[in-house]
Structure 1
Amino acid sequence: MASHGILLVDKPAGLTSHDVVARVRRAFGTRKVGHAGTLDPMATGLLVIGIEGATRLLTYIVGADKTYTATIRLGARTTTDDAEGDIVDTADATDWASVDDEAVSAGIRNLTGTISQVPSSVSAIKVAGKRAYDLVRAGESVELAARQVTVSRFDVLSQRRAEGFLDLDVIVDCSSGTYIRALARDLGNALGVGGHLTALRRTRVGGFEVTDAVGIDALEGAATLTPAAAATRVMPALDVTAEEARDLRHGKRLVGQRDRLQAAEVAAIDPAGFLVGILEARGHDIKSAMNMPEVQA
């Protein structure tokens, strides 16, 4: 039987997130596998995979903040806001006349903090039940609504100038739902030269780091994080007694104990070190919002 756990995978370029899930299913011998946040085929980096009962945790991981490294190419617009699309416009010498280091820095500052962002039209967002990127590929015009996101860090690590282009290697810390392709597009548009992504790598999801991930060819026998270890990377832990664990698993409340919660959601850990479930306040009480299977090995 497959273990209940969280597996960290370093996705290579060229594979979809679904491809990775399919390989994990084969490696672990179970159909019950999911992931906490899609990566485009062009992108590399961290995929957080849930196996068996640990798939229940993915809901609490998918909204975690994230870190990406990326290369933004200024000087050209593409149909997909990344290098996989067709170039539709390039900047000329006149366009570049006012684009100096200060202009680039100012453009980045304007895209830092809490901002309103229109996702790329080739995103996985559903429109009338269909993925936006499927509609675009079918030749339909897609307009997505702006959403509020938070970019807490947007730093340039290095830059390279070539004839007609300026490549920026950047690192971005952002809230869930932020599109790095849209940052590249919007920076290029603000500077009047266009922009798109040529590389994207996710290095962190909440408390999970890509340095702890396994490669796609090392899935067989790969170690997983226990549900308890994984849950406590994204929320505080609350130790509960064996009696409390039994009551929570049976749907009972811990009456009048709301003050024990350190956050809106906490991970209840029983005396054996197993994850009982995710707890939340209900009035003055504590109740389990999600229970884990009692057998987690």
Structure 2
Amino acid sequence: MNKRIGVIGAGVMGKGVAQRFAKYGYSVMLLDNDPEALKNATGEIFRDLKMKSMFDKSLKVQEVMENISIIRKYEELQDADFIIENVYEKEEVKKEVYEQLKDIKKTDCIYLANTSCIPITRIGAYTGTPERVIGVHFMNPVPIKNFAEVILGKKTSQNTIDKVGELLHSVEISFETVNDSAGFVSNRLSHLFMNEAAFLVYEGVADAKQIDNIFKKAFGHKMGPLETSDLIGIDTVVDSLEVLYKEYEDPKFRVCPLLRRMVEMGETGRKGKKGFYQY
């Protein structure tokens, strides 16, 4: 397989995306402006693969790791066939990333914006080639979740849609394709659940474990909304809610004060070793 995948952002989602595509034989270039994040990402990918290989003897850990190269300059992405962006859910950060890519990508390179809430049409406008920009909201954790939400920008071309569909099928990810809207479908729903669950803790109605248990046992979900918040990252949840609140000016997206307080204290969930639960 000769397709080259550039992955920008080595956080929770970025490292998962890199691992997924490397497992299926793609040559993955992982970029982050934080050397520590890159070091942590490769270490965590290796440990996760080693753990999985104990149960799946067909998994070749070293081969997967060799498919991932660490890069530190945007210029090294010039031969990428696809670039998957996974940086912070802050529009000014994403804008800066896409503007840096304008002059170095291949003329037929396709952007996959792995954003939680920011409209894809707006992201496309930053690139100068909006027809080659599409939203792909991978589900966390990416290495084991076989589904994604694909979002069409107003100018996304049919060629882009077709090629991204082929790409996702090649790594055994099924998807639903929806039209552009801040938060799309999954996050307009999920963030309401997470925010309201945080309000229930904040108001003293129930503790996190009780809320998650009710959610799982009553609705049959594998994870409760507060467990999900910890997995995603409390800071990411707050950033996404702020985008939704700004876009819709609807008070239902007002961030729970408890979530803000947790971020201020560094209680960002699993990545911070503490959130609604201790890790």
Q: TM-score, normalised to structure 2's length?
A: 0.25
Larger Rg, first or second structure (1 or 2)? 1
Q: Considering fraction of residues, name the structure with more strand.
A: 1
